[in-house]
Amino acid sequence: ALPKQYVAFTPCFRREHMSAGRDVRGIKRVHWFDKVEMVVHCVPEDSPSWLDRLTALAVEVLELLELPVRVTERCTGDLGFTALRGFDVDAWGPAANEWLEVSSASDCGSLQAERSNIKFRREAGGKAEHVHILNASGVALPRLMIAIMENYQQKDGSLLIPKAVRAYVGGREKIAPGEFAL
């Protein structure tokens, strides 16, 4: 029965053409990173609501961390070959004075299902139809760390720990300058 929801944790490797300049140093645009990918197979009429749900998951993470968040719909020129519609979720990086993309969600319609021959039947003996496939990345940890550090650093150089993660760091509220965090 649909929907089917899948999640995968995978290493990813980025090879960029013309990769030179300020965005290739540090942790903003790394060439190797781990990523959580969420995939949904659903009936065609449910794909718009699933796209909203997948986008909302990334927004929820940023809101729990009390970070400034922005959602933008990608134009067709920015969509991948298989995508019908997509959204980027960005966190604000005040030191860099820019929005940092931390997640993206895409509705790929039936194209991937057609190529993979993934079908479903609404009822036993009914006509086989292609599912719609959606995917979204979990939040990108390197860029999320940039946003946390830039939004939570204090004038004395200390770093406040977001309330949502304090339970995972022994209840600590801040990290002092020069102090090893964990």
Please state, as a whole number, how many other Cβ atoms lie within 10 Å of the Cβ of residue 135: 22
Is 104 an annotated catalytic residue? yes
Is 101 an annotated catalytic residue? yes
Which tokens sit at 40?
Answer: 């949904």
One-letter amino acid at 4 equals: K
Residues 47, 103, 143, 150: which is the catalytic one? 143
Is 143 an annotated catalytic residue? yes
Residues 47, 104, 110, 137: which is the catalytic one? 104
Residues 37, 70, 74, 101: which is the catalytic one? 101
Is 15 an annotated catalytic residue? no
How far, in whole angstroms, is CA 87 from its chain's centroid? 10
DSSP one-letter code for 153: B
Which tokens sit at 71?
Answer: 């959602």
- Closest to 110 in 3D by CA, of 83, 136, 130, 84: 130
Is 74 an annotated catalytic residue? no
Catalytic residue IDs:
14, 29, 101, 104, 143
